[in-house]
Structures are given as structure tokens and as C-alpha cells.
Homo-oligomer: A and B are copies of this chain.
Amino acid sequence: MLAAERRDHLLGLLAREGKIVAKEVAAELGISEDSVRRDLRDLAAEGLCQRVYGGALPASPAVVDYDARQALAPDGKPKVAAVAAALVRPGGSVILDGGTTALAVARALPKDLACTVITHSPTIASALIDHPRAELFLLGGRVFKHSAVTCGAAAVEAAQNVTADVCLLGVTGVHPEAGLTTGDVDEAAMKRALSARAADTYILASYEKIGTASPYRVLPWEKITGLITDADPRDPVVEQLETLGVQVLVAR
């Protein structure tokens, strides 16, 4: 393995999983921990990661990615995204919603994963252009500027022609009584249409969404397979959801 290749591997790992544990990587690649530590030190010197005891974390969003700064949960989203990305099997298909969390999922997909990604977000489509083995299908329609996705009748109609193994939906509110909610009525309808085209539907909800509600209902609890979140599993809202029969995947 080339030294530079190893370095790329580390950066990829950092982007996909949001963290690096020196010991694990050393064992995985069959090299000494010293080399890993040296690489991390160099990467940190270039501002490409943040060195911490035991490994490394992504460099502060302000430095590395301006867009990521707008994220409400600076390190929750990559974790949620990593868990969600793991639900996409090689050769499988996924319907990917729009939004920053879904974008994180797109970035967390391994570069060489062979899969089919169906999305109504031009942003996500752009982000996946450089995944050579990913088949990409974009659902057309009127672009709803607030969240940069296609919505409306044409988009819903386009969604009727696709099918996938799993649907990953972002929402703005996750509340035991209000259910899964979002801020726009057309967007809610679009999410319902997407969910209906997949065998399983998982909700992506970083911790700050838990316990909040937005105006428009997306789906009732029965229609979803699970919830992926980085909230504390002992959070009262999360426990309440589990009593409702919602499968909760906790990202750590």
C-alpha cells in the first residue's frame, strides 16, 4: 500500500464515518500504529483533520467545508449518515430524500459501491456524479427552492415509476404525538410518495429534531421501518417512540 494511498484512505474514512481510531485502522491495514499516527499528524498539520487522543476527527467545518457550517448538528449528521449509508447493500437500491442529512448520507456512501440511487435532489445528484459504480436516477419536476428538491405533481408522478429496497427520508420534526412532520405541504406529499415506492422507509433525524414538530404531517409511525438518530437512547422521547413500536437505530 502506497503512503499517499493510505492518506487518502484515512480522509475517506473520516468523511464516511466521522472519526478515525488509530489502533483500529492500523490493525485493518496491517501497518503499525506509528505510521497511522504519523499520517494523522501530517493531515492535521495541513488542516485536513483534527487530531484527538486515540485518533482523529474531521477538521472544524469552518475550515474544511463552508456548507457544513450551516448544519445544525456539526458532528451528529455524519454519524447518522454513516448508519444510514450502511443500510444500502451492494447491488441494492435506495431512494434518497433531499436536505443536509441526506446529503451527508450521499457523501458517506463508499466511492466504489455498486448501487442504484434515486433522488429528487439535484444537489445530491451532483454529489454522486463521482461515484463511478452508482446508477443515478433523478426525479424531475418543479424545483422547490427552499429545500432544493423537486416537488409537486410532476415529481410525485415521476416517483410512481421507480421502486427501491429502502427509502431514507429527512424530516424537520419527530414527535411522539405529532408524528413525522415537515414545513411544506408539497414536500410532505413528495416524501409520502417516495416512501410508498420502497420496501423499507427509515427516517433520518439528528438529535435536535427529536421532540419537535412542524406544520405538515409526513407519515404515521406505522408506515416507517425505523428511525436513525444520534440522540441519547435514554432520551424520554426516544423511549416513548420505542413503546410505539418504532425501531430506533442509534448512531454513536
Contacts and interface: CB of A to CB of B under 8 A. Distances in A.
Given A3-B54, A57-B8, A158-B158, A138 B122 contact: yes
A139 B137 CA distance: 11
A142 interface: yes
Interface in A108-156: 120, 122-123, 125-126, 128-130, 132, 135-143, 145, 148, 150, 154-155
A59 to B, nearest CB: 12
A21 interface: yes
Given A8-B57, A126-B126, A154-B161, A3 B52 contact: yes
Chain A binding surface SS class: mixed
A47 to B, nearest CB: 16
A79 interface: no
Given A128-B143, A129-B148, 15 more contacts: A2-B21, A4-B52, A8-B57, A129-B145, A132-B145, A137-B140, A137-B141, A137-B154, A138-B141, A140-B141, A140-B150, A140-B158, A154-B158, A154-B161, A158-B158
26 contacts: A2-B19, A2-B21, A2-B53, A3-B54, A5-B19, A5-B57, A120-B140, A122-B125, A122-B126, A122-B138, A123-B126, A125-B143, A126-B126, A126-B148, A129-B148, A135-B142, A136-B143, A136-B145, A138-B140, A138-B141, A138-B143, A138-B150, A140-B141, A140-B150, A140-B158, A154-B161
